[in-house]
Structure 1
Amino acid sequence: MPRTGYTDIAAHYRQRIDDGELAPGDAMPSMRDVTEKFDVSITTANRAYRMLKHEGYTVARSGVGTVVASRPRVVATGAARIERLNRTGNPFVPGESSTDHVAMLRSCVDPDIADQLGIDLHDEIVIRRRVFRKDGRPTVVALSCIHIRALAVVPELLSQGQLKPFWQATYKERTGKEISRSPERRGARLANTDELRALEVDVPPSAAVPVLVLHTTHHDDDGPIEVWEDVYSPGLWQVSE
């Protein structure tokens, strides 16, 4: 049986924190509990806890010990939310939510999105837009650009408001086709006026505000079917978990 290392222990508690099982302010298990749970030495347990502290997951609190840290400037990717949804049934960590869900049928005017979807520029696509929030503050403007062929299978894509269950699960159930995703692509550009308004960034009209942008392309057996574009509020850290 493989021996448990300190990185394995850190990964265990990192996921519990990411999934919201351990919330900010919660006390971490004692060193004795960790050594007994994983049958490791106190040195190994200490190394795991030092790793979590270095990564910003935990902090030392006088009179309490090690507690889960508050990470207001850290926001997960869309892919990480889906993985969390599959693990726990909930895509959000404590304090996180999504608002302003809007669906529309539009001509694709972005050459990069058209290329990722394998369509011609100005072909129609389904666009679903929402804003993610943490403790009430907007963190991410998220855009789903969906190939028009998906609409024949999931007409609910044009329904306003949040879709439950996640539309890809409905697509898989109705077609039997698996949907996979490509690695996330990270870049930066200047935010447009609509994005700044949605993120509640108050700057002069002429101000140039750089933002982190993530693209994630999803595929089924017939080719690309969806592209996610996530635009992060300035000053936030992004983690894939």
Structure 2
Amino acid sequence: MPRDTEFTKIATHYRQLIQDGTLSPGDRMPSMTEAAKEFQVTVTTVNRAYRMLKSEGLTVPKPGIGTVVAARPNVAVTGAARLGRLERTGNTRAPGESSSQHWSGLRSVADPVIADLLDVELHDEIVIRRRVHHREGGPSTFDSSYIHARALGSVGELLSEGPMERWWQELYKERTGQEVTSSPERRTARIISQTELDALGIEMPADRTAAVLVVVNVFHDEEGPLEVWEDVYPPGAWQVDEA
């Protein structure tokens, strides 16, 4: 392995352990000497990896202990990261993470961007599922899934209230035999809506606005676009690539 990638491999290893909940907020990170021995690299290389994790807000120094995992209320966990965790652990949620305000329904699509991404006509009916994820005791993301209506033929549970026991795409793949693939994540920023403010528990004067980070994943099957998954983060949140 080229020397300039050794530290990124170490950072990725610990980033995934933190993301998956194997390392929780407050847990002590291995000392640089311990990590150097485990990965068979120099302490200098480990130091570069640890500096990267610190710059991402994932770890903090703690006097008398060393480096510990940080509480991360402002670090965005993206849809791709959740899917990566699902593949590694069988769960999209980290330990201690929860969700609320689940809603699902069949509605006409009013957003031309969503209609275009799903390759449907404006005002066609689609399935919409929404929920709020909570981390560190407060709302961390407002998530919306915009799903092509043809998915209902195989996964009628999409219109059920509350969280599904399994991710709906797994059921879809089992029942149809089709593969589902994801396009690269799209990241943008826009002004937060009142619906999103309410869902995230944010109070803001009527004469003020705030920008939010929005991350979009688009999934396709053999027939075309199947789902648009949109994650909206509170003002001030920033993303770490944790997939």
Please, what TM-score do these two structures have when normalized by structure 2?
A: 0.92
> 1:2 deviation in Å?
7.8
Structure 2 alignment gaps of length 5 or more = none
Query: Residue in 2 aligned with 1:225?
Result: 226
Query: Residue in 1 aligned with 2:86?
Result: 85
Give the secondary structure class of the aligned counterpart of 2:227.
strand
Query: Residue in 2 aligned with 1:141?
Result: 142
Change (3 A) 1:218 1:52: same
How many residue pairs are counted as aligned between the two chains?
241
The CA RMSD over aligned residues, in Å, is 1.8
> 1:51 deviation in Å?
2.6
- Structure 1 runs of 4+ with >4 Å offset: 1-4
Q: How does 1:1-241 map to 2 (within 5 A)?
A: 5-241=6-242
How far apart are the structure 2 equivalents of 1:206 and 1:184? 32
In the TM superposition, what whole-angstrom CA distance separates every residue of 1:188-240 from its partner, at most 9, and x where no partner exists?
22222211111111123343232222222110111001111222111111233
How far apart are the structure 1 equivalents of 2:162 and 2:69? 33
Structure 1 alignment gaps of length 5 or more = none
In the TM superposition, what whole-angstrom CA distance separates every residue of 1:147-174 from its partner, at most 9, and x where no partner exists?
0000001000001000121000000011
Change (3 A) 1:106 1:179: same
> 1:78 deviation in Å?
1.5
How far apart are the structure 2 equivalents of 1:44 and 1:151? 51
How far apart are the structure 2 equivalents of 1:233 and 1:155? 32
The one-letter code of the counterpart of 1:237 is W
8 Å CA contact retained: 2:81, 2:241: yes
How far apart are the structure 2 equivalents of 1:46 and 1:206? 46
The one-letter code of the counterpart of 1:37 is E
> 1:120 deviation in Å?
0.7
- Identity between Structure 1 and Structure 2 (%): 58
Please, what TM-score do these two structures have when normalized by structure 1?
A: 0.93
Give the secondary structure class of the aligned counterpart of 1:208.
coil
Change (3 A) 1:185 1:6: closer
How far apart are the structure 2 equivalents of 1:151 and 1:103? 12
How far apart are the structure 2 equivalents of 1:55 and 1:114? 34
| Deviating more after overlay: 154-163 vs 95-104 | 95-104
The one-letter code of the counterpart of 2:42 is S
Change (3 A) 1:79 1:6: closer
